[in-house]
Amino acid sequence: MTEQQPYLVSRKPAFPGGDTIQCVFLTCFHSEFSVLAIVLQYSRIRMHRADTLDEADFLLSATAGTVLVSDILFLDGSWQDALRMAAEVHPCVASLIAADPVDSPFLADAYSRGACGALWKPVGFSEAIHLIRSADQASRDRALLSNQSAPTCNPVYSYGRR
């Protein structure tokens, strides 16, 4: 007679040897976010959705997020506003811009404004994983260089409350 071993079923995937990357996606498109978030969770990337700059600021602080992905436009601004907020309030957070290829002329100065890259729509999952992991590493390197222990470097005050 053999003993039956119970199988543990978990909704959260277990990942040996590493932390989950906390990423905030500033977008008002719930459908694009939800598909991406579900797929990325299996690659140790936790995606949080924000509709506004204040929500993105809060989520970056609350989750110790290291990556901000911003749509070209969202409810209260544009990618330029998102990069400005990240630079002023979360200087160690690395930023990516999610855009359609037709938007490329509008992103000419994105790198000089602090963007680390662009996720071109429709977003390829392997490309998204690679870019978010690279941005997370850039964020962690910034934190080490600035001698800060928290990945967000300076979550002292809130962007909308200044």
Q: Return the CATH number at 71.
A: 3.40.50.2300
The answer to whether residue 42 is domain-embedded is yes
Give percent above pLDDT 90 in the chain: 75
The answer to whether residue 108 is domain-embedded is yes
Comparing 68-77, 86-95, 138-147, the range with the smallest average pLDDT is 138-147
What average pLDDT does the segment 23-46 reach?
94
CA nearest to 159, candidates 91, 85, 95: 85
What's the pLDDT at 66?
A: 97
What average pLDDT does the segment 78-100 reach?
97
What's the pLDDT at 16?
A: 44
Domain that holds residue 57: 21-151
What average pLDDT does the segment 35-54 reach?
96
* C-alpha distances in Å from residue 94, one per residue of 4, 14, 31, 41, 135: 48, 25, 24, 19, 5
Residue carrying structure tokens 């200044």: 162
Comparison of pLDDT for 103 and 1, the residue scoring more: 103
What's the pLDDT at 162?
A: 41
The answer to whether residue 14 is domain-embedded is no
The answer to whether residue 11 is domain-embedded is no
The answer to whether residue 3 is domain-embedded is no
**Number of compact structural domains in the chain:** 1
Q: Kindly tell me if the per-residue pLDDT of 49 is higher than 90.
A: yes
pTM exceeds cut of 0.85: no
What's the pLDDT at 100?
A: 96
Comparing 1-5, 33-37, 77-81, 137-141, the range with the smallest average pLDDT is 1-5
The answer to whether residue 31 is domain-embedded is yes
Across-strand partners of 96?
Answer: 69, 117
The answer to whether residue 160 is domain-embedded is no
d(CA 142, CA 151): 8
The answer to whether residue 67 is domain-embedded is yes
Mean pLDDT estimate for the chain: 86
SS3 96: strand
β-pairing, 73-74 with 67-71? unpaired
What average pLDDT does the segment 26-36 reach?
92
Q: Kindly tell me if the per-residue pLDDT of 157 is higher than 50.
A: no
